[in-house]
Structures are given as C-alpha cells and as structure tokens.
Amino acid sequence: MHIFWGLVIMAAGAFMVMKTEWLLQNFGRLAWFEAKLGTEGGSRLGYKLIGLIIIIIGIIQMSGGMGGFLTWALGPILKYNK
C-alpha cells in the first residue's frame, strides 16, 4: 500500500512541475514567492519547488520511511523522545 500511495503522491508532484503554467493561470500567483523570488521566476518557480517537495514526500512514502521521517522532522517541535 505504501508503494501505491507513494506513486500517487509522486504523480501529483510531477503534474505540478510539468503543468506550472496551467496552475498559474487557474490558481493565480503566489504572493510570498512573488515577493521573495520575483526576479528569478516568482510563482512559476514556487509551483515547481512545491512540486519537487511533493515528489520527495512521495519517495519517502514509497520507501516506508514516512513514520521515521516525521519523527525526525517533528521530534524537536513536539519534544518527542524515543
């Protein structure tokens, strides 16, 4: 089941990377990316970066490491001691 959901998540991320212009036309510009990265691509770059992060999350899900990753990433915030 991990592999299936990982592939679905990766497909969503790949869609965001490939169809950036479509996302920009339908959902508009992202204000934060326009303010911070306006000269380097702005919202287009933002959609691509979000898509790449989603692809990485899909790979982590496929490998079955989502629990360990979340423990590592959120452990300091939640004071989780194993």
Name which residue leads in pLDDT, 55 or 41.
Answer: 55
CA distance to 10, 36, 68, 72, per residue, from 16 (Å): 10, 20, 26, 27
pTM of the model: 0.80
pLDDT digits (tens, 9 = 90+) for 12-37: 999 999 999 999 999 988 888 888 87
Using pLDDT thresholds of 50, 70 and 90, give the confidence band for residue 82. low
Going by C-alpha positions, the residue among 55, 54, 37 that lies closest to residue 46 is: 37
Question: Is residue 64's pLDDT more than 70?
Answer: yes
Give the residue-averaged pLDDT of 44-62.
93
What pLDDT does residue 52 have? 96
